[in-house]
Amino acid sequence: MRVRDLTSAGTRFVTTRWSLVWRAAEGGNAGAMDEFARLYWPPVHAYFMAKGRQGEEANDLAQGFFADVVLGRRLLRKATGGRLRHLILASLGNYLVDRIRHDQTRGRDGRVSGIDPMVAARVIAAQDAAAADVFEGEWDLAHAKEAVRRCREYWTSRGKAGHWEMYEERVIRPLCGLVGAATLAECAARYGFGGPADAAAAVQAVKKRMQAIVDEIAGA
């Protein structure tokens, strides 16, 4: 699912779940930090992948970033207003420069090497634009997926899975180019609604709830 597909349907995706950031920034709130890491792991990991790090190395860098920078340096305490996305992106670049400088200075086997540490900064700068684009796309996608997950859970936990399934078939899947949009009459018959009017009302109810979830993710 692509965030641009959802936004084209009129869903306003905003970029930061501030209530979660504030809880995670307090420290000692393991649940909030776990949730923060789950939500933002994909864009962080994708950033390192875009820098040419693969497999275990990308995983190690992502884990190190959350441990050393987000937790160790209490990065989230610096997040104010709408700065979180840019703060994390800038911190990722600085962290990777530091890691490369450390590896080049000490050598992979622990010996001091003679490589100019400024080489690391130039290597990173040459790749910054492409990696930033990847990060931005994954950041938006992470929020879109989270909104979809929570909206689906909201309806299914209330015994109204048909509401969500119809919305997915009628709105989301066509936007993603997976299927053509079914008619309201077809949806009503398939998901047990009284008729097209009832089906339309259910779709609007899901859209309204989706917007509320998006605003909640934003900390509104």
Residue 97 falls inside a structural domain: yes
* Dihedral angle over CA of 118, 119, 121, 124, nearest 10: 180
Arithmetic mean of pLDDT, 62-85: 79
Residue 176 falls inside a structural domain: yes
Do 14 and 210 contact (CB within 8 A), yes or no?
A: no
Least reliable range by pLDDT among 114-123, 192-201, 211-220: 114-123
Residue 153 falls inside a structural domain: no
Range with the largest mean pLDDT of 67-76, 94-103, 158-167 = 158-167
167 and 207: one domain?
Answer: yes
Arithmetic mean of pLDDT, 42-57: 85
From 86, 117, 144, the end of a domain falls on: 144
Domain encompassing residue 49: 1-6+15-144
119 and 165: one domain?
Answer: no
pLDDT tops 80 at residue 6: no
3-state secondary structure 96-133: HHHHHHHHHHHCCCCCCCCCCCHHHHHHHHHHHHHHHH
- What is the distance between the alpha carbons of residues 59 and 49, in angstroms, rounded to a whole number? 9
Range with the largest mean pLDDT of 84-93, 123-132, 168-177, 194-203 = 194-203
Do 142 and 96 contact (CB within 8 A), yes or no?
A: no
129 and 168: one domain?
Answer: no
**76-93 per-position pLDDT tens digit:** 777 765 577 788 888 888
115 and 56: one domain?
Answer: yes
85 and 166: one domain?
Answer: no
Arithmetic mean of pLDDT, 158-178: 86
194 and 162: one domain?
Answer: yes
DSSP letter for 2, please. -
pLDDT tops 50 at residue 111: no
From 119, 144, 169, the end of a domain falls on: 144
22 and 130: one domain?
Answer: yes
131 and 164: one domain?
Answer: no
Least reliable range by pLDDT among 24-28, 97-101, 153-157, 187-191: 24-28
pLDDT tops 70 at residue 220: no
For residue 34, give the amino acid letter.
D
137 and 184: one domain?
Answer: no
117 and 165: one domain?
Answer: no
Q: Give me the residue label for tokens 């909201």.
A: 154
171 and 90: one domain?
Answer: no
pLDDT tops 90 at residue 163: yes
127 and 46: one domain?
Answer: yes
Arithmetic mean of pLDDT, 35-63: 85
Q: How many domains does the chain have?
A: 2
